[in-house]
Amino acid sequence: MTTDSFISDYARQRTQTDSLKWDLVDQRFDGKDLLPLWVADMDFAVPAAVTEALHRRVAQGVFGYSIVPKDYVAAYQGWQERHWQTSFQEDWLRFSTGVVQSLYDLLHCFTKAGDAILIQPPVYYPFFDSIKDTKRRIIEAPLLAQGDTYQIDFDAFERKIKEESVKLFIFCSPHNPAGRVWYADEIKQLLAICQKYQVLVIADEIHGDLILPGHRFVSAVTVAASLDFEGVIVVNSPSKTFNLAGLLLSHIWLPSETLQQRYDAWAKQYKQTEVNIFGLTAAKAAYQHGDEWLEHILAVVAQNAETVAHGLRQAVPEVRTAPLEGTYLLWIDMRGLGIDNLKQLVQDEAGLAVDYGAWFSQAYAGFIRLNLATTPTIIAAALDQLIRSINTYKQQTFEEDIHDN
């Protein structure tokens, strides 16, 4: 199957399907007829094997209490070993309804109100929300912008931990929105600092399968094992990899027996929920048969990233894009245009619904995040709309300057 044939077979029109991304976009953004490139899900159908597995389950006609399929963990382990050589053990695994919910639960379980929680902005905004909503303290150790990409400021990271008595660090790997896939030695340096100060680490690895060519994902648990560091918890989900967010299934990895016991004792009091059998059915089929499908998704994302980066570079070189190493979310720096009202340009003039940089950190108010998990046709249209609006803005600014002078 070629990339073009994949798009033909799997691309879907999602309006009037109760899609948050498409059917609620105008209400969420207070606009009209906006092209949605915001919330992180895909405009592609799931792997055929997933649809078939769900059809078989529905055909049974019985949806009573269910258990985790016996071969689920084997399918999940197989995927991890096949793709990333990640050593995973069954007794580590706990289930939840989503990574964001897991963040809230883990903060409640392992910290208390007033504790200092460290994050690295610009970063996924539910990190901020989970800390604020649970009445913990947000401590920021921002990433360093170097050219168009980002690095970790290890000195600032350690200094913040010492000065603020940080109890827990939420690590975004791969990074959303910067698109960085961290090297093993970068992760090792971070974890060594956390180990030194006994800081618990939650590694959000939900984008860990969405790695573009030339880059390789390394799980925090793999690096932690090399340090003999037991203070790492991983949260991930098939939702981003296979477009399954609506089925409400995610994973929590607890490699430490001590952490397992603490979490299980907490969950016994506060988390008496069943696992969604449709989520388990879909995820198992995806882990067993979704390899080729994911290859095509990543090819589409890479093509879309190059289209946007090249188009902006040629038409409006003042606008810069971060190199996309992982995720399907492109981080775009609009500050070179000198625009005070970015929303007016991007939304009102270009007709695009995007995630704004200020949501990830106030220091990044001049940025936008673009969802590339859609068809090249939609990306081409969005790019054209954005460039035309920028050029109109530049022309108006030029004419105003001439008039003023």
> CA-CA distance, 364 to 287, in Å (whole number)?
36
Residue with tokens 């949605």: 36
Per-residue pLDDT, 61: 96
DSSP class of residue 363 equals G
Amino acid (1-letter code) at residue 213: P
In which residue ranges of the chain is CATH 3.40.640.10 found?
48-289
In which residue ranges of the chain is CATH 3.90.1150.10 found?
3-46+291-404
Per-residue pLDDT, 400: 65
> CA-CA distance, 179 to 323, in Å (whole number)?
7
> CA-CA distance, 185 to 196, in Å (whole number)?
16
Residue with tokens 């090819």: 299
- Residues in the chain with pLDDT values less than 70: 398-405
Per-residue pLDDT, 167: 98
Amino acid (1-letter code) at residue 32: K
CATH number of 3-46+291-404: 3.90.1150.10
Per-residue pLDDT, 366: 96
Per-residue pLDDT, 402: 64
Per-residue pLDDT, 1: 87
**Exposed/middle/buried for residue 146 (C-beta within 10 Å: 0-12, 13-18, 19+):** exposed
- For residue 142, is the peptide bond before it cis, meaning its omega torsion is within 30 degrees of 0? no
Amino acid (1-letter code) at residue 343: K
CB count, 10 Å around CB of 343?
16
Q: What is the pLDDT of residues 323-345, one digit of tens each?
A: 999 999 999 999 999 998 999 99
In this structure, are strands 250-253 and 137-140 parallel, antiparallel, or unpaired?
A: unpaired
Architecture (CATH level 2) of domain 48-289: 3-Layer(aba) Sandwich (3.40)
